[in-house]
Structure 1
Amino acid sequence: MESYKGHVDTDQKVQRAAIIGAGALGRLLAARLQPFCAQLLLVTRTKEQADAISGGGGIQLVDGTEHILADARTAALEGPGEAVRLLQEMEPEWIVLAVKQQHINGALAESVQRAMGVSTRLLLLQNGIGHVERLLAAGIDPDRMYAAVTTEGAKAEDTRRVIHTGRGLTRIGPAVSKESGGSELHSGPLYRETVIREAQGLIGLLSSAGFTIQWTNPIAPYVWSKLVMNALINPLTAILRIRNGELLESPHALDLMRRLFNEALRIAGAEGVPLSPGLWEEVLQVCVRTAANSSSMLQDVLAGRPTELDWITGALLRAAEKYGMDAPSHRAVYLLMKAIEGE
C-alpha cells in the first residue's frame, strides 16, 4: 500500500466553496474560510438556524482571546429545495460535508449528488465508517470524494456561537482507494499528477485560513485510528458521565479501554487496515490533552440528542460480524449506551 505525505502548492486557492452542516465544525470552518473565499455558502439543516446566522449578524467565533464575527451566506436543507438550487447555481469547486454520520441518509446523499457540478469535489469530515458507501449508493463518483481526519476541537454554544477549543492537524486524502473501487487516479504515477492537483486548491484555502493540513494517501489507517479512539473514549465518558481526562484516573476504566482497544485492533487487522503500534499511547495522550473536555457523545447524551454510537461502536461490531469475530467488550458498551439512549 502506497503512503505519501507530500507537498502541495498552497498558493492556489478555491474561490467557490460550500459547507453542508452548521454544527460546531461547520461553523468553525465557515468563519475561518469566509475572508479567503470569493463565494462561500453555509447550508444549515433548518431554516431557523439559517435565518439566525444570516439575519443575526453572522457566526460568532471565539478562538482563545480572539473574537471573530463572520458574515455568512446561508441556505436551509429543509423546505422546497432552495439549498440544492443555490448550490447548482453556484457550481462550487468543493463541497465540505460536515454533518454527523446519522444525518447522511438517502435523501441527503441524493441532494449532495444533485448539487455537485461537473467539476465539484466532495470533502467528508465524518467520524466513523459507513458514510462513504451511502454516498456511493447515491451515484457520487468515487474519484470525486476525499476524506478528512481532523483533531481540530470546536464546541457550539447556540445556533450562531462556536468556540475553537483546540487547534490540531487535518489530514486529507482520497476517500476511496483503487482496491475498494476507486480508479487508477488513486495509485501509480497519475496519483501525484492529478489527485493532488485537484486537492491543492482546497488545501491552499484551508492553510490560508490558519488550519494545519497534511495530504495523506492512503488515509484509511487514520480514519480507522480515529474510529478506534472515538470507540474507546466517547461511549465510556458518556456511560460514566465524566470528562475525558477522568478515564485515566480509574484503573477499571483503563482496563476496559485496553480490552476495547485489543478487540478493535483485531477487527482492523481482519479488515486489512494497518494501525500504528503506538496507537494505544496516542489514545492516552488524547485523554491528557483533552482532559477538561466533554466528549461529543457525552454532550449529546446530556442534551438528549441522538449519538453517533451506531457509526462508531456499531461500525466496529458490524465489521466484526462480517468476519465472524466476537467483540464482547464493544458489544457490552453498545448495549449500555443503547439503554441510556432509550431513557
Structure 2
Amino acid sequence: MRVGIIGGGSLGLLFGAYLGKSHEITIFTRREEQAQELNEKGIRLQFQGPEDRVIKVKAEPIGNGMSDLDIIFIAVKQYDLPNLKPFLLTIPANIPLCFIQNGMGHLEMLNSLPHASIFTATVEHGAKRGNDWTVSHNGIGRTNVAVYKGSLHLEDEFPQALDPAFPICFHKDYQSILMNKLIANALINPLTVIFCVKNGRLVENPYYYEILKLMFEEIYTVFPLDDKESIFNSIVGICENTKNNTSSMLKDIQDGRKTEIDAILGYILKVAERKGRKLTTVQMVYVMVKGIEQERR
C-alpha cells in the first residue's frame, strides 16, 4: 500500500519503520531539512539486537504529494491539529485518515472533515526519536485501531506491519480504546512530570502510588467504565511494563516543548465541569504541570 505519515516525531518514525518493511511509505515533515535526511538515509530503527535496521522511505514537506495515497496516518500532537487542518482539507475525501493522538479533544475536529473513512488509534509502544531519521523502540505494546467514521469493514484495507514486535489490533468501539488510553495518560504522564521519575516509580514508591489511586478514583466518577478494577490494574501493568521509560510528557518538559496537558487533564476537567463534578486532586495536578511547563519553556 501507499502509506502517508504526517509527522516526523517518534511515533511517525516508528510507524514508518515498521510499516515500511511491507508498504511504500512517505513521511510528511514540518521541516525540509528532516525530509532531506529521511530521503538520503531512510529511517534507522534501534531495537533489540546487535545491529540497527534501516528502512528506506520517501519524505516530503507537509502539503506536498498528499493526494496519491491509500491511507494517511496523522501522527502529530493534538495541539498541532488546528494548524494542520487546512492541509487535511486538501486531501481527497476518498483517502482514509487515521489519527494517533492522546486525549479525546480532537474528536470534535474530526466531525468537520469531509473524509468518508476516519480511524482513531492509540499506541502502547515506547518510542524515542534520537534525531531526524533515528527512532528507538523502547517497549513493545499494541496499536489499537477503531473506525470512527465509515464502514466497520475498513480494517480489511488497513496496512499491517507483518512484524510480531508491532501488532495492530482492531476494536469495534472507538470510545472505549480512547477512554482507556486517556485515563492511563491522565495518571502516568502528569505524575511523572511532577515527581520527575520514570514510569515504574509511580507504582514502586508507595506515596506516589497513593496519588495515582486517588486521581484514578476521581477520574472514574466522571468516566465510569465497566470493570473498574481491571482498568486500574491495566494502568499499573503499563507502569510495570514500561518501568524504565520516560513518559512523553516528561520528555516534552525536559526538552522545553509544550505538553499535551490541556488535551489530557484539561479535557477531563471540562467534562467533569459539564457533569457538575469537582475533581480536586486532578485540578491540583493540572495546575502544577502547567506551572512546571511555564518555568521550563
- Scaled to the shorter chain, the TM-score interval is over 0.9
Instruction: Report which structure shows greater RCO (CA 8 Å, sep ≥6).
Output: 1
Contact 1:36 1:208 in 2 (8 A): no
Contact 1:63 1:163 in 2 (8 A): yes
Q: 1:129: how far off?
A: 0.8
**Residues 118 and 227 of structure 1, relative CA distance in 2, 3 Å threshold:** closer
Q: 1:275: how far off?
A: 5.9
Partner in structure 1 of residue 47 of structure 2: 63
**Residues 208 and 258 of structure 1, relative CA distance in 2, 3 Å threshold:** closer
What is the rounded CA distance, in whole Å, between the counterparts of 2:247 and 2:72 in structure 1?
27
Contact 1:207 1:213 in 2 (8 A): no
Question: Mapping of 1:161-310 within 5 angstroms?
Answer: 161-176=134-149, 194-196=151-153, 198-203=154-159, 205-207=160-162, 211-269=166-224, 274=226, 276-310=228-262
Contact 2:126 2:245 in 1 (8 A): no
Deviations 1:32-75 (A, max 9, x none): 222312x32100121121122223x1211112115111222111
- Percent of pairs identical after alignment? 30
**How many residue pairs end up in the alignment?**
294
Partner in structure 1 of residue 121 of structure 2: 148
Choose the corresponding residue for 1:49, options 30, 34, 38. 34
Q: 1:230: how far off?
A: 0.8
Secondary structure of the structure 1 residue equivalent to 2:278: coil
Contact 2:42 2:57 in 1 (8 A): yes
Q: 1:26: how far off?
A: 0.7
What is the rounded CA distance, in whole Å, between the counterparts of 1:324 and 1:135 in structure 2?
26
Match for 1:319: what amino acid? V
**Residues 255 and 210 of structure 1, relative CA distance in 2, 3 Å threshold:** closer
Partner in structure 1 of residue 8 of structure 2: 22
CA RMSD of superposed structures (Å) = 1.8
What is the rounded CA distance, in whole Å, between the counterparts of 1:276 and 1:248 in structure 2?
18
Partner in structure 1 of residue 74 of structure 2: 97
What is the rounded CA distance, in whole Å, between the counterparts of 1:111 and 1:20 in structure 2?
10
Q: 1:316: how far off?
A: 0.6
Partner in structure 1 of residue 97 of structure 2: 122
Match for 1:111: what amino acid? F
Contact 2:21 2:161 in 1 (8 A): no
Q: 1:124: how far off?
A: 1.1
Please, which runs of 5 or more residues in structure 1 have no aligned partner?
1-14, 78-82, 177-184, 186-193
What is the rounded CA distance, in whole Å, between the counterparts of 2:292 and 2:176 in structure 1?
31
**Residues 277 and 324 of structure 1, relative CA distance in 2, 3 Å threshold:** same
Secondary structure of the structure 2 residue equivalent to 1:35: coil
What is the rounded CA distance, in whole Å, between the counterparts of 2:10 and 2:26 in structure 1?
16
Contact 2:127 2:137 in 1 (8 A): yes
Contact 1:94 1:121 in 2 (8 A): yes
Secondary structure of the structure 1 residue equivalent to 2:66: helix
Secondary structure of the structure 2 residue equivalent to 1:307: coil
Deviations 1:267-299 (A, max 9, x none): 113xxx546541111111111111111111111
Please, which runs of 5 or more residues in structure 2 have no aligned partner?
none
Q: 1:265: how far off?
A: 0.9
What is the rounded CA distance, in whole Å, between the counterparts of 1:206 and 1:308 in structure 2?
28
Partner in structure 2 of residue 4 of structure 1: none
Partner in structure 2 of residue 86 of structure 1: 65
Q: 1:21: how far off?
A: 0.8
Secondary structure of the structure 1 residue equivalent to 2:244: coil
Q: 1:170: how far off?
A: 1.7
What is the rounded CA distance, in whole Å, between the counterparts of 2:185 and 2:282 in structure 1?
12
Contact 1:221 1:275 in 2 (8 A): no
